[in-house]
Amino acid sequence: MKLKSVNIAELQGKVFSSIIVNSDKTEIIFDEAGTNILYKMYHDQDCCEVVEIEDICGDLKDLVDTPIIIAEERTSEAPDEVTDDLDDFLWTFYTFHTIKGSVNIRWLGSSNGYYAIGVDLIKGTKEEFDKYFN
């Protein structure tokens, strides 16, 4: 398997042994239980953009060791009061439901208007992730 982009709906029905947010709040790693598969939610940063997690509502522990019933994505342009010197803003919302609870993750992307500001979800083996990201 090679690292590949996937749709958030692919996480439905999956069970994760861990979900880890990095300290910069720029990526989330989902470790699929009983497999060698990881999913990474992140943005490949460029020079004039920032995409990071603004808020997590709910407890990520509610998404561990139980099947994901719903995994969905929504986007919305950021309101004017969020803007500063940059031109483009995009909220990306991820909602996850399990029998243990729900979690909403809100990402905010901003750029000067020339760079993409969406969130990516990729899938691969642990070895592929180690090779590509280290």
Residues whose CB falls within 8 Å of the CB of residue 90, separated by 6 or more in sequence, listed in order = 75, 76, 77, 78, 108, 109, 110, 117, 118
Residue range(s) defining the domain that contains residue 22: 4-133
- Residue 78 DSSP class: P
Distance separating the N- and C-terminal Cα atoms of the chain: 18
**pLDDT, tens digit, 9 for 90 and up, residues 4-37:** 999 999 999 999 999 999 999 999 999 999 999 9
pTM reported for the whole predicted model: 0.89
- How confident is the prediction for the chain on average, in pLDDT? 90
What is the number of structural domains in the chain?
1
What phi, psi does 102 have (nearest 5°)? -125, 150
> Which residue stretches of the chain are H helix?
126-133
